[in-house]
Structure 1
């Protein structure tokens, strides 16, 4: 029996008396706390650009939702967000007006109900009935009737029967077909295909389809054991398994990472394996001299800074972790706290307006703000709130930060340019533009510093490293390594 079905079967029958003793104080819980939490998160994501990965755990904790109900709320939230594009295409055929004209309070109910009907083992009568009951509470009796009518239309077919109706033919429109079937905006499908080197005529974009499928799979929780403070073997005692590539990584099959002792003590943290590896690659390059001064140019929220500070401490180096936003700088300070030899220091500073003298650092990490298209497994809502204009808007900042990083490093030192996006406009284009305007930069072959990871090479002569979810099981992190030359 699935988690969803169990959550249905264990509800008390109508009219049953509540259990005595051990009851929580405070307002009564909703009849269906899992669906109510999922609805509130989906509505906040749609109406005020909330982040599901931050809001969902907070609401589960505040409302005391645990166990199977928490599992159901998580599935309804992330499953709905991942497959929203597919569900919207189906809902559009069931609504007698444009889907954009449907009340914003009602849309999450329709999408969440569609997810239950088309992608879970929840019985159709329960999926419709429970969603309509929630609709009565949150949008009123009249609009709950609309929800009921539309979901009954959706329930008339299963997903396999709906897709040929709503998706363009693959041979005629590969990008449009994949966009609907795998729930990504068309522009994202096209840009991911470009980054993979595929064209629409390449037998329907098979590698692109593999990537899109990977985006819709639930990712593993990956931990980093901070060097000098914890070991992967320590995390194995909590049920974690050693990572595939990073010597500091461990996969947590299930459970709350916050319950792990090493995480509570800041000796370990949640961090994608590719994020660990791009930081590690920077530390492996020979700096041709002194190696005591490291800089993380835009460090918030601090994941890579925490790892770099630990590595710096083991080498008797020092890391300055700079972040422009004070709140995020506070997170960075927590991440680097108690690094070996107190090697990490967080400061509030704008990387495009340096608070340091030029040419004073030996290693510089520029993990620049980006669209986040490389983390769509973990933040599925990002695919719906980003557009091509965001790439254009971010490009000047990304370029300015890379230039600032180059100015901060001494001759012989090295810069790592990193994005959590495979979009060519945020990766290849930025690096080539900066290199083209300077004569003091050497583009190193980044995959050479990550020999343990196969199939990384991309770009001119394979000099960039590009991680992929469907190949490496990580976020789609991009890495370029540049050495500043003496001129």
Structure 2
């Protein structure tokens, strides 16, 4: 019997493992190419993203049920074991169906021998539910509370520790943050200012107006490929997390004396924030310069900002050659670990390593320093990263502010009506508190 949904999920997991592909890029294209729609598309999406997101927990259970270490398991068989184990532990699919469907896929591709091994492992997995396996395999919550929560909610321990340090808690707040980060997120849209309102967009797509962004709309989880929506195809709206919208808007809300018609996005790819900023500055007759180092990402910016007052420059944001003080407002949406958007990039948590942080913070400091050179005296810079890691957030901002003399503004005032923003002066958003990605934003003013 054909099983297009599970086959698509399995082949996407294989692409992630073999080619370091991104599931959220591979799967939608595969579904379109194979014309998989409706329930099959929804099932494929759930199984793919769920299996990729929970990989660490799944691997621990698989190894506990196997007669060999994972390093000795055939890669394609391991992909199938992850898919089957996810169905057994984290879906309502009957156990016999989860096992049989997975074994059938393996038998058709790898033969009866490996299919027998997969069958034996999955039957052992099915002997307990997820809670029982967590009780058996997770670190002791009394001696290692962070490790226990990391295992329970399928996060590498170092990432859970970074969350704990940013939250200032190893208890309930950390549990809630990891729990929210382990859930499949809703899709957020941003209406293009001057073209369509959030109310109009919500009515067109059947979504809900976002609680905080005046341009945001939330779609139901599992609502399908947002790229198929007419407003997105016609560039009346883009896919953008509400937290990203709020951080871009914070730059525009900071008070400014004097000129205010020349804005800069120093790290513009793939173009979501640039499109929002360009639409807003364009309403006032201004322009946006969008800088992007990678040519293919610069092309994405051009496409996304088509029809807006934007000039795209393909260059390194640290070495633009722009005249000092040439801009009124500058956005530094710096390259980062992406730890704040793990729920949207299911495999990313298992790829990132602690060593990545140090390399990125050097780049982040250089970009923020250059932004403060390019903004005019009295102008403002928004430093934004999609990460709560303290080294990437308050560490970078404090260091650059000390060396440049830049004034840190109370960024909380630039997020009106958003609750639970902490002690400031920066803002750290969280999925469990705000329903957004874990975006960080600090707004600084260059001294006059």
Query: Under a length normalisation based on structure 2, what TM-score does the superposition of the two structures give?
Result: 0.97
Match of 2:276 in 1: 307
SS in 2 for 1:362: strand
Residue-pair matches, total: 445
Q: Please say if 1:243 is aligned against 2:214.
A: no
Match of 2:416 in 1: 451
Q: Residues 336 and 346 of structure 1 are in contact (CA less than 8 Å); yes or no, is this contact kept in structure 2? A: no
Q: Distance in 2 between matches of 1:38 and 1:218?
A: 16
Bigger Cα Rg: 1
Match of 1:136 in 2: 107
Q: Deviations over 1:381-407 (max 9, x none)?
A: 111000100101111111111111111
Q: Distance in 2 between matches of 1:230 and 1:337?
A: 16
Deviation for aligned residue 1:60:
0.5
Q: Distance in 2 between matches of 1:380 and 1:255?
A: 17
Q: Residues 430 and 438 of structure 2 are in contact (CA less than 8 Å); yes or no, is this contact kept in structure 1? A: yes
Q: Residues 248 and 276 of structure 2 are in contact (CA less than 8 Å); yes or no, is this contact kept in structure 1? A: yes
Deviation for aligned residue 1:255:
3.9
Higher relative contact order (CA 8 A, sep 6+): 2
Deviation for aligned residue 1:272:
0.4
Q: Distance in 1 between matches of 2:129 and 2:41?
A: 26
Would you identify which runs of 4 or more consecutive aligned residues in structure 1 move more than 4 Å?
none
Deviation for aligned residue 1:334:
1.3
Partner residue of 2:15 out of 44, 47, 54: 44
Q: Please say if 1:288 is aligned against 2:257.
A: yes
Match of 2:388 in 1: 422
Deviation for aligned residue 1:142:
2.0
Match of 2:179 in 1: 213
Q: Please say if 1:442 is aligned against 2:407.
A: yes
SS in 1 for 2:388: coil
Matches within 5 A, 1:85-164: 85-164=56-135
Structure 2 unaligned spans of 5+: none
Match of 2:315 in 1: 349
Q: Deviations over 1:285-343 (max 9, x none)?
A: 1222110110000100000000000001111111001101111101101121112xxx2
Q: Deviations over 1:57-110 (max 9, x none)?
A: 001111111111111101110111222222112112112232233222221111
Match of 1:320 in 2: 289
Matches within 5 A, 1:3-402: 31-199=2-170, 205-235=171-201, 236-253=203-220, 254-339=223-308, 343-402=309-368
Q: Please say if 1:470 is aligned against 2:432.
A: yes
Deviation for aligned residue 1:420:
0.3
Q: Residues 375 and 475 of structure 1 are in contact (CA less than 8 Å); yes or no, is this contact kept in structure 2? A: yes
Q: Distance in 1 between matches of 2:111 and 2:149?
A: 36
Q: Residues 230 and 262 of structure 1 are in contact (CA less than 8 Å); yes or no, is this contact kept in structure 2? A: no
Q: Deviations over 1:201-260 (max 9, x none)?
A: xxxx21111001101212111110010111113211221211110000011222432232
The range that moved more, 348-357 or 296-305, is 348-357
Q: Residues 336 and 345 of structure 1 are in contact (CA less than 8 Å); yes or no, is this contact kept in structure 2? A: no
Query: Under a length normalisation based on structure 1, what TM-score does the superposition of the two structures give?
Result: 0.89
Superposition CA RMSD, Å: 1.3
SS in 2 for 1:121: coil
Q: Distance in 1 between matches of 2:421 and 2:276?
A: 22
Q: Residues 42 and 224 of structure 2 are in contact (CA less than 8 Å); yes or no, is this contact kept in structure 1? A: no
Q: Residues 369 and 404 of structure 2 are in contact (CA less than 8 Å); yes or no, is this contact kept in structure 1? A: no
Q: Deviations over 1:435-463 (max 9, x none)?
A: 12223x101110011122111235xxx10
Q: Distance in 1 between matches of 2:281 and 2:303?
A: 16
Deviation for aligned residue 1:52:
1.0
Q: Please say if 1:409 is aligned against 2:375.
A: yes
SS in 1 for 2:404: coil
Q: Residues 43 and 108 of structure 1 are in contact (CA less than 8 Å); yes or no, is this contact kept in structure 2? A: yes
The range that moved more, 326-335 or 255-264, is 255-264
The range that moved more, 112-121 or 247-256, is 247-256
Q: Distance in 2 between matches of 1:64 and 1:261?
A: 19
SS in 1 for 2:250: helix
Q: Residues 92 and 99 of structure 1 are in contact (CA less than 8 Å); yes or no, is this contact kept in structure 2? A: yes
